[in-house]
């Protein structure tokens, strides 16, 4: 769950909490990332369309959860460092390099920061890759989920995931997982944001609530 602190008076002085559902999956030619968009403060929804997918470089993105302020700060720092690195080496950075930077910052400031970022993207060396980073952990996985809504969809992703899924199948997998999580987790909701990354670049998409798939209980 995303959390953000504020020094302003009244209800703004309390923690602003954002329920979250984030997901990333790799396919043969790239990756698909997705997130919901709801932001809440206590019992109030303060933003229905926050994009929790942050670009770290041209073909590398991260999905944010944990403290909103902390996660966004880490993403901005890594974005800057990757830009400098790519200029120095005169080529695009590796996805693992981006994930390692996130991991190093998360570990160094683990007592001060509370954020979990899923890093995913494409590079010419490893193709599509998904990395989980948390308090110094760095693990490459075929797919990853996170946030408060993830606890509602473990059974779904375990049952539906299979190796060798195509680009369209991965997009469908991500959209259906987000839809189920948003329907069951009261802290997740809004629209679904998708980013598909391959050798050609990144394609962003916003799926409105009335365009999301429906299931038998709806």
The CA-to-CA distance between both ends of the chain, in Å, stands at 25
Residue 153: C-alpha distances to residues 26, 143, 179 (Å): 18, 13, 10
Q: Name the residues annotated as catalytic.
A: 20
Q: Which two tokens stand for residue 146?
A: 């996170």
Q: How many Å apart are CA 192 and CA 178, to the nearest integer? A: 7
DSSP state of 72: H
Q: Which two tokens stand for residue 203?
A: 């394609």
Q: How many Å apart are CA 191 and CA 31, to the nearest integer? A: 20
Other Cβ atoms less than 10 A from the Cβ of 174: the count is 26
Task: Starting at the earlier edge strand, list the strands of the sheet with 192-198.
Answer: 143-146, 22-27, 30-35, 192-198, 201-207
Helices 95-108 and 68-89: crossing angle, nearest 10°? 130
Phi (first) and psi of residue 9, to 5 degrees: -75, 175
């Amino acid at each position: 769950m995303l959390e953000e602190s504020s020094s302003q008076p009244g209800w703004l002085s309390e923690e602003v909490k954002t329920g979250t559902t984030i997901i990333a999956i790799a396919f043969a030619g790239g990756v698909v990332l997705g997130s919901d968009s709801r932001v809440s403060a206590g019992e109030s929804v303060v933003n229905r369309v926050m994009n929790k997918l942050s670009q770290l470089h041209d073909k590398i993105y991260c999905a944010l959860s944990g403290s909103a302020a902390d996660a966004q700060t880490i993403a901005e720092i890594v974005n800057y460092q990757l830009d400098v690195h790519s200029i120095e080496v005169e080529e695009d950075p590796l996805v693992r390099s981006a994930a390692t930077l996130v991991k190093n910052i998360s570990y160094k400031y683990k007592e001060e920061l509370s954020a979990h970022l899923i890093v995913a993207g494409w590079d010419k060396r490893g193709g599509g890759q998904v990395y989980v980073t948390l308090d110094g952990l760095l693990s490459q996985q075929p797919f990853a989920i996170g946030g408060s809504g993830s606890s509602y969809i473990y059974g779904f992703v375990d049952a539906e995931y299979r190796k060798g899924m195509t680009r369209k199948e991965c997009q469908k997998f991500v959209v259906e997982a987000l839809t189920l999580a948003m329907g069951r987790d009261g802290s997740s909701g809004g629209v679904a944001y998708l980013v598909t990354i391959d050798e050609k670049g990144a394609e962003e998409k916003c799926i409105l609530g009335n365009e999301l798939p429906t299931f038998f209980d709806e």
